[in-house]
Structure 1
């Protein structure tokens, strides 16, 4: 019976899928599977042949294998490896090469024989590639084929570098990379223009020959493509769908990557549900959007015709369910994000007392505050609350080199105009120019350049906060150590990051904390900064009495927005407030027109923010609520 229930839950899924709580647990499971293959082969006196992948997805798998070698004595002397792909052209010593990646992540930490490592050669002449690829296939066959192939998945649905249009029987070959793939790699190369346009990759046909195939995916940004790969029709437009044809494949996912699979996203379509208030809210909003009818116009027939008969039967009548969900949404809307004084707050998202709150806004980068919650920021100040803003990092990697020279030239001209000696400034300026002439993508800037970039972003942040109405002594620059590496890759969080955050919290003793919950941030700074604030609050909660009255609100906006069923506070903005928010964002001139790290969204940040805020307002209106110009959304985090 349990097996039948599982089949019903997964009937939309066309291949085997295992879901784990997080990527750490999932990575350990995959590493153990690999280790079991290696040891089983050792016991037989045979070689284990592994197909390996690169990118962020398998990093923890490789860390765990290296740990097993060091602490458990797992030997790799009988292991032969074949990597999926390599950029072309690419020198093996380049920072972005997969040879270097595999050495740093795995091979330098285990006892594998160097002659047993095979990675496509990115230094070949073009006329040599075809024969080389045939030889690569031959070598795999000569050692008995791949015992296990591990894969990641790109947002185009590519496996290896088999981009849309690849054939299911394709072999190892030279391919042209999709534009989205190159955009996703742009951070590693210091810009998309530096990413190679081609790569050498194993083919889908080569991958299919493996005795076992494991595809791994973590994070919500992979959820849409995972749903297509697992539940969609087989198509060369999504090469990963060809894996549905294999009996030996398993997708191993964390909960975020699996979140858009039907059994998790709309479970009422596949099984009877335990109808919690949150699930009811989500389902009714989904039904309203699916039928394109306001919530209060949904009927019993709408429920019955869209897989929600169980809800109507158990919790109905339908109109009572509609009213309940409609009221929840209505009560989430407030023009008083700090609470409305002298009002009944039983149906409001924030408390009325104290009427004047201390509010602390944490901003991971120097512009996230105004981009993501600029309207609420301004309203909190206008309504008389004691508002502070804390910029957690300098954001100094996200400034164009040309801006550095321009600001230095301004400083030299200004000092000259008032008769001051400029010799030291000029010497530093010339040093910068010489460095920038030969600077390569991802080179670490001179310390002086890092400082100027940090100064640029600091002065912009001050201008933005002042525009929102803050006094200078309410503007705090934290420069958390994890970020200040001068590199795009940051250091691990340490206790110093948390202690600095605790000290600021203790100084202000806020009634409200706002922090970035935009975990889709492709650079990872948002979630890192969130975890620091969360840990600081948890520690303080054990010893500080004021923390029990401190509410923790999350905002989004720079990269994505909360889904409507998640929103617990929606702050409507008038046309004038939208314009004020826009002008606050405009203070960040170095990020305007063309930011250094735009992510996958080429729109300017102020455009993204306005359109997302308007989309939220439209969604509320389509559900049957008032028609506002825009809305900023928040979720309260229980710590």
Structure 2
């Protein structure tokens, strides 16, 4: 590609950005750059000084470095490392400690001298921290500074734990963590309340002294903050923007993390485009939203003033483009998610035949079904389809400890009221109480407690599915084993999960499948559950029913598909919204204050209603009919 075109395409970007197809290829590329530096300096007899990061982002890099050591003889004997940060206070041997992380993912697997490893000490007395931080800086300087610093980025825009408000010349110090940062760490600590309030971190000034800086980011969760860091104005509100001042920095991203950058999100603003149907739909809807105008009121001037003159010239006249996209959007709306019997389905999102379809709604957690597509779930049952629901995991991590005790107490009181004395239940109860008194943050529950918590969620899910209209024979609890295995290790086999899913699929032979389609977190339960389902369908692909099976993706309560992505949108009446709310209320353990609420303070039913009403509002603003709420779906093509 000519240099002029590249500059034009990236003119919104204020620092170098390299985008890879996925985080695996990106991680290998970064590891290879680290390996090259190690080899070059080792040949000169010089120490290699690396600044290292923790968290999910660099794990792939560390895995590749370990492989290079084992298979290609890359030696770390000449390497000195300084880690970016550590929570405070933090026991160095605790599972959440960054010392534990680094030894688990890298240091235990290579030939590095432990004396060359430097990690901030989270167990210091507070009076000793200032001296420790000064010594940390002096050690880096004594080694001649950092040859390479690798970074991740937090959703606040922090690098290291340099939160908003950090000064560009800051050094290693004790800082207070942002509430969003603590919320993102909540799962590792068994709840936000257990996440430390402070951390020791290298400063931005320390990072800047590195001869080379690589910031890595994977997945769509990082897309918005990456756009701000790369294209936004330099601001203390987003510390990563300070990197725009450096001549030695590069951002290394996967496609998902880069997706909000102008050249990917709105490419018509920076270059000529190949205008296929998908891009035309995206551009026209973007233009209507940007100008807050209905699609049918967009003009030639609107197109020309917003980078879409090429589209108007190649595909115009503009009004014909508007009508075409308006009709495509109109055709996504259906009150018949299972297909309308005896109707022309050429302009409908689902097939008319068979009139009564076999359907499986796969729900990763026991409440995803009613939260994310409860209205459609009810509509499918009301319209007489043979609807099954499959709860893929127990969801037992998301139950409060005192709720578990309360249910066991209920069982004991019930037995006593029946003049029955069950010593085993009493024994379980006493053991559970004793364990919970000394339970550490994120410590795994004993099997009996996990079972109790799983049964709580199972009972709630049954109540919700029955409310929708399903009988017990159509309610399936898969309890996929990976969910509990991953509490011990992230490296697990999914073979038995796949086999269980294949068995259910062969039993039902569905015409329609609904599955959670929130893939922003590649390591999250939703994505893993989808991957298990997808692999199951691949293995069954030669069976006739699979060839006639359509897979629809739904999203969770936090965000919706982009409007241009939506392929089926099911409108809900006020009464149906109310019924959906009642189905969500059956999940009482998730009511009011769930264990892992994320950074959204609203209850799940509120999030769900706001999300679906917002979708309806967007459709109406684009010039379509006004509905109370709408649930959106995207068809996954095999």
- Fold similarity call, TM over 0.5: yes
Corresponding position of 2:60: 60
Corresponding position of 1:530: 530
- Shift in Å at residue 422 of structure 1? 2.6
1:359 and 2:351 correspond? no
Corresponding position of 2:589: 590
1:390 and 2:390 correspond? yes
Corresponding position of 1:560: 559
- Shift in Å at residue 559 of structure 1? 2.6
Corresponding position of 1:79: 79
Query: Unpaired runs of 5+ in structure 2?
Result: none
Alignment of 1:37-56 (within 5 A): 37-56=37-56
- Shift in Å at residue 545 of structure 1? 1.2
Corresponding position of 1:202: 202
TM-superposition CA deviations, 1:178-213 (whole Å, max 9, x none): 111111111111122211111111111111111100
TM-superposition CA deviations, 1:52-111 (whole Å, max 9, x none): 001111011111111111111111000000001111111211111111111111100100
TM-superposition CA deviations, 1:396-437 (whole Å, max 9, x none): 111101011111111111111122223221121111111111
* Contact kept in structure 2, 1:215 and 1:252, CA below 8 Å: yes
Instruction: Give the paired residue count.
Output: 638
Alignment of 1:291-306 (within 5 A): 291-306=291-306
* Contact kept in structure 2, 1:570 and 1:633, CA below 8 Å: yes
* Contact kept in structure 1, 2:214 and 2:249, CA below 8 Å: yes
* Contact kept in structure 2, 1:397 and 1:487, CA below 8 Å: no
Give the CA RMSD over aligned residues: 1.2
TM-superposition CA deviations, 1:232-276 (whole Å, max 9, x none): 000111000000000110000011100000000000000000001
More displaced stretch, 36-45 vs 346-355: 36-45
In structure 2, distance between residues paired with 1:45 and 1:122: 33
Alignment of 1:505-524 (within 5 A): 505-520=505-520, 524=524
In structure 1, distance between residues paired with 2:29 and 2:521: 27
- Shift in Å at residue 486 of structure 1? 7.9
* Contact kept in structure 2, 1:392 and 1:478, CA below 8 Å: yes
TM-score calculated relative to the size of structure 2: 0.99
Corresponding position of 2:634: 635
1:441 and 2:441 correspond? yes
- Shift in Å at residue 355 of structure 1? 0.3
Corresponding position of 1:407: 407
* Contact kept in structure 2, 1:482 and 1:490, CA below 8 Å: no
In structure 2, distance between residues paired with 1:357 and 1:26: 43
In structure 1, distance between residues paired with 2:242 and 2:528: 36
- Shift in Å at residue 488 of structure 1? 8.0
Corresponding position of 2:260: 260
1:485 and 2:485 correspond? yes
- Shift in Å at residue 550 of structure 1? 0.2
1:29 and 2:14 correspond? no
Corresponding position of 1:581: 580
TM-superposition CA deviations, 1:111-143 (whole Å, max 9, x none): 000110011111222222222211111111111
* Contact kept in structure 2, 1:575 and 1:629, CA below 8 Å: yes
SS at 1:484's partner residue? helix
* Contact kept in structure 2, 1:520 and 1:559, CA below 8 Å: no
More displaced stretch, 517-526 vs 227-236: 517-526
In structure 2, distance between residues paired with 1:631 and 1:620: 9
In structure 2, distance between residues paired with 1:499 and 1:246: 51
The runs of 4+ residues in structure 1 deviating greater than 6 Å are none
Corresponding position of 2:598: 599
Corresponding position of 2:543: 544
1:70 and 2:70 correspond? yes
Corresponding position of 1:3: 3
* Contact kept in structure 2, 1:522 and 1:599, CA below 8 Å: no
- Shift in Å at residue 557 of structure 1? 2.6
- Shift in Å at residue 522 of structure 1? 9.0
TM-score calculated relative to the size of structure 1: 0.98
Corresponding position of 1:422: 422
1:214 and 2:226 correspond? no
Query: For the structure 1 residues 175 and 483, does the alpha-carbon distance in structure 2 shift closer, same or farther, using more than 3 Å as the test?
Result: same
In structure 2, distance between residues paired with 1:314 and 1:402: 64
In structure 2, distance between residues paired with 1:223 and 1:380: 35
Corresponding position of 2:622: 623
In structure 2, distance between residues paired with 1:86 and 1:425: 42
In structure 2, distance between residues paired with 1:580 and 1:492: 39
SS at 1:483's partner residue? helix
- Shift in Å at residue 523 of structure 1? 6.9
TM-superposition CA deviations, 1:571-618 (whole Å, max 9, x none): 000000000000011111111111111122221111111100000000
TM-superposition CA deviations, 1:352-397 (whole Å, max 9, x none): 0000000011100111011111100010010010000001111111
Query: For the structure 1 residues 277 and 522, does the alpha-carbon distance in structure 2 shift closer, same or farther, using more than 3 Å as the test?
Result: closer
